[in-house]
Chains A and B, each alone.
Chain A
Amino acid sequence: MMYTKDEIFQAISTVIDPEVGFNLVEMGLIYDASSDDEGNVKVTMTLSTKACPLHQMILQWVKEAVEKLPNVKDVDIEVVWEPAWNISMADDNVKKALGA
């Protein structure tokens, strides 16, 4: 394994949702991440709504953020809608800031 889940999450944490102002990891939108020795990275994530107009762009930002890790060759992003995202998946600082 080239990168751990935490290392990939760390890379993705540079991607900010411009509407709420938090990064995707602390929002709880990144469900899983893994990589192999060949430099292939797989990210499983969701979005806060299916109708998100930034859908494609957010995926592109995640891809670019992961590609910044040295020796990453390919990034495969799977968007899933189950389990559906809800605020309980976000970090405490996000919940507190939003008033949830």
Chain B
Amino acid sequence: MNSISQDFAPPFKLIAPFFIIGGFFYILSSLAVFLFDVDDLLFSSPAVISFMHLFLLGFVMMTIFGAMAQLVPVVLEVGHFGVELFYAIWPLLLIGTLLMVFGFLYSAALLPYGGMIVLISMMIFVGEIFLTIKKVEKLTLVMSSVLISNTFLFFGIIFGLLMALAYAGTISLDISQMLRAHIYLVVGGYIGVTIMGLSIVLVPMFTLSHSFSLVPLRISISLMSVGVVSVVLSSLFNANALAYLGYFLSFSSLLFYFYIIYIIYKTRPRKENDIYAISLMFSYSAMLVGLVFAVLYFILNEERFMLASAWVFFFGFFGFLITGHIYKIIPFLVWFERFSPLVGKQKIPMLADMIPQKSSQAQFVFSSVGVVLVTIAIVTKSDMLLHGGASFLFIGALAFVRSMLYMINFK
């Protein structure tokens, strides 16, 4: 029997803090958008850097780490090396992220401390994942994606720490040169490859779609991996040609990834448009829009298009992909812990019954309108649209956390 055991899975009380804290960082990220100044919107401005770290470290990474605690045994088909280590990861990531954000906004002296604490939390995470992977006898494509993404994360945080030290004046480094490698390693290498690998397990599972080939995914992960290495080398050796090669490869990678998602979508037997399905549709549409903005940036060489691309990728693509999956993962975990022992003994809810319809739909509507408004604001440099969009995002984030707490407390 090909046994994939739930016995390896960690208790919900271990995973819940990751999701709850991630949700509150989602709210803080939406508030951080109010700090943007459309006339001075640059990748190097403190408001933008603070937002990126709030969103990527506090929301995206925090939620992905929590999800990985649950999903690693499912994907790797072995138990964690030391699941208790996750109890140390979220407090460190929480403190480190807050210190870094305060450091960017108010006092650069805090950055090395925040960076070091984030580094420790991520090293614990990466170490635990590597030692868990070591137990796997034969690596599948999805397992390989976990290995590749965590290797990129390892190097990404080393670059990040060096930058934090340079930012605080502790060491002398060309931050702008390291920035490209840091962003690519963490965003493309870790978040990108993790999303590619895990979504190919999760999306077909929830849509019941199984009639597709994994070849486009293999190509996609390979292209993204070579693309990330290429950009990192371009940073180290100041070789622009390598950077452009990396951009082209990662762009192509996302097209292949979109293709396999499109095939899954087209062949899915489960056609209901629940909050999960519409969140993913918005997410992948945002990914395409982000690619279009990236192309516009390379053609017109205007930073506002690169900022719009990054924005749509972060809040649109990553954001909705994560919130959509939260509506599947949390009900499952709560149901498993609270209701599965009652199967056959009394009437129990289905997973869909545990999702609050009104607040989940409010979250989708407000957040999606917010993403669109802020995107237009970045491109047109409209302060009014920016604040209007941020207001929508804030209400959407509140509705998201409300939905999450409802699902966690469902009885």
Contact = CB atoms under 8 A, between A and B. Distances in A.
Nearest to B204: A49
B210 A85 contact: yes
B210 A99 contact: no
A19 interface: yes
Interface of A: 14, 16, 18-21, 48-57, 61, 64-65, 78-79, 81, 84-87, 90, 95, 98-100
A19 B206 contact: yes
Contact of A98 (B3, B6, B70, B271): B271
B2 interface: yes
A99 B270 contact: yes
A99 B1 contact: no
Interface stretch (B245-253, B343-351, B394-402): B343-351
A53 B9 contact: yes
B343 A55 contact: no
B208 interface: yes
Contacts of A18: 335, 339-340, 348, 350-351
- Size class of the B contact interface (CB-based, 8 Å): 20 to 34
Given A51-B4, A53-B332, A21 B352 contact: yes
B6 A56 contact: yes
B7 interface: yes
Contact of B270 (A57, A61, A100): A100
B139 to A, nearest CB: 15
Contact of B2 (A79, A85, A99): A79
A78 B3 CA distance: 11
B75 A19 contact: no
Contact of A84 (B2, B74, B210): B210
Contacts of B357: none
Contacts of A84: 210
A57 B341 CA distance: 10
Contacts of B335: 18
A81 B339 CA distance: 28
Given A21-B350, A51-B201, A57 B269 contact: no
A98 B270 contact: yes
Contacts of B213: none
Nearest to A79: B1
A21 to B, nearest CB: 5
Contact of B210 (A78, A86, A100): A86
26 contacts: A18-B335, A18-B340, A18-B348, A18-B351, A20-B208, A48-B208, A48-B210, A52-B4, A52-B205, A53-B4, A53-B6, A53-B9, A53-B70, A53-B336, A56-B7, A57-B6, A57-B343, A79-B2, A84-B210, A85-B210, A87-B208, A90-B269, A95-B269, A98-B208, A99-B269, A100-B270
